[in-house]
Amino acid sequence: AAGDSRGAENSDAADPERPKVTYIPPSLPEDEDSIFSHYKMGINFDKYDDILVDVSGTNLPAAIMTFEEAKLCESLKNNISRSGYVKPTPVQKYGLPIISAGRDLMACAQTGSGKTAAFLLPILQQLMADGVAASRFSEIQEPEAVIVAPTRELINQIYQEARKFSFGTCVRPVVVYGGVNTGYQMREIEKGCNVLCGTPGRLLDMIGRGKVGLSKVRHLVLDEADRMLDMGFEPDMRRLVGSPGMPSKEERQTLMFSATFPEDIQRLAADFLKVDYLFVAVGV
Ligand code: ADP
């Protein structure tokens, strides 16, 4: 798909050879029904009950069996039921308490296993408990969480889930990716930005333009890390974690997701995660 190619992800401003991109997406409806109508459940999650889960690391928080046990605030619980989620998937059962405990995590799980809620719910819970910057106009925004995924399709799915789970809360998610008018995305950021979702190139572009400061980042998520490597995004990922203001790995929570765990991903995990990170592999 076009969205999977490096060229499509690239910033329109970065490459003078490319025609200027002027596409401005239609503004998304803000009402509850539209926000929660995005996904139809098509997956039989019951089959997940006998899936094998491999967990390793020290001081492992106990897995949860129900969303009730996750100790989430009322608005998050409401948004979970509005989303039609009845019981957690394996990556949610193990990932949620690990992330809530503030631990770093490397999780191997396939697309469609429920990773997104596994990291969004505990991050939103922590943001609401610790407090976030109020959404108001500012030329520079300082998100408390940054989520990176390799393609516009993936990052948009994450953003749609973030809109659902943050509905009715003080947390404002924003999405940026290549192929869309940069000015439009800058204006979206300027309105307030607590959770910034982006593809690597466009995220770095926004940081380079001084639209986004990283010093408040408490949670960093790198989703589909193996695909990011395949697509040549390793230098971008390294540039992001090394960007001015980005808190060191000791001072932030870092979560990495990947379908596979080959040597180059293990190397990235060693570089980006704290030494006592936990490892969870679901059904591999
Ligand atoms: P991944 O991030 O692993 O690719 P998603 O988190 O997008 O997968 O989940 C795949 C689909 O399943 C989405 O439509 C999502 O809304 C839905 N889903 C995720 N977790 C649950 C759950 N516990 N119960 C019901 N539906 C779920």
Of 224, 225, 188, whose CA–CA distance to 206 is shortest?
188
| Tens of pLDDT, residue by residue, the chain (284 residues) | 334 444 444 444 455 555 555 677 777 777 777 778 755 454 556 666 678 899 999 999 999 999 999 999 999 999 999 999 999 999 999 999 999 999 999 999 988 899 999 999 999 999 999 988 888 888 999 999 999 999 999 999 999 999 999 999 999 999 999 999 999 999 999 999 999 999 999 999 999 999 999 999 999 999 999 999 999 999 999 999 999 999 999 999 999 999 999 999 999 999 999 999 999 999 85
Residues with CB under 6 A from ligand 1: 39, 41, 43, 45, 84-86, 88-89, 92, 109, 111-117, 157
Helix ranges restricted to H, 14-88: 32-36, 74-82
The residue whose CA has the least distance to atom 10 of ligand 1 is: 112
* Structure-block tokens of residue 112: 């469609």
Compute the distance from residue 140 Cα to the ligand 1 centre, in Å: 33
Compute the distance from residue 172 Cα to the ligand 1 centre, in Å: 21
CA 58 to chain centre: 25
Q: Which atom of ligand 1 is nearest to the CA of 67?
A: 23
Q: What's the pLDDT score for residue 38?
A: 54
Strand order in the sheet with 53-56: 53-56, 278-282, 105-108, 253-258, 219-222, 145-148, 195-198, 173-176
pTM value?
0.89
Q: What's the pLDDT score for residue 21?
A: 58
Q: Which atom of ligand 1 is nearest to the CA of 154?
A: 4
Dihedral of alpha carbons 194, 151, 46, 95, sign: negative
**CB distance 158 to 197 below 8 Å:** yes
Q: What's the pLDDT score for residue 22?
A: 63
The residue whose CA has the least distance to atom 5 of ligand 1 is: 114
Compute the distance from residue 116 Cα to the ligand 1 centre, in Å: 7
Q: What's the pLDDT score for residue 64?
A: 96
DSSP letters spanning 139-204: SSB--SEEEE-SSHHHHHHHHHHHHHHTTTSS--EEEE-TTS-HHHHHHHHHT--SEEEE-HHHHH
Compute the distance from residue 117 Cα to the ligand 1 centre, in Å: 7
The residue whose CA has the least distance to atom 1 of ligand 1 is: 112
Q: What's the pLDDT score for residue 32?
A: 79
Residue to substitute in 35, 45, 82 for testing ligand 1 pocket (most ligand atoms within 8 angstroms of CB): 45
**CB distance 119 to 193 below 8 Å:** no
CA distance 32 to 167: 8
Task: Evaluate whether ipTM surpasses 0.95.
Answer: yes
Angle between helices 182-190 and 200-208 (to 10 degrees): 70
Compute the distance from residue 210 Cα to the ligand 1 centre, in Å: 34
Q: What's the pLDDT score for residue 18?
A: 56
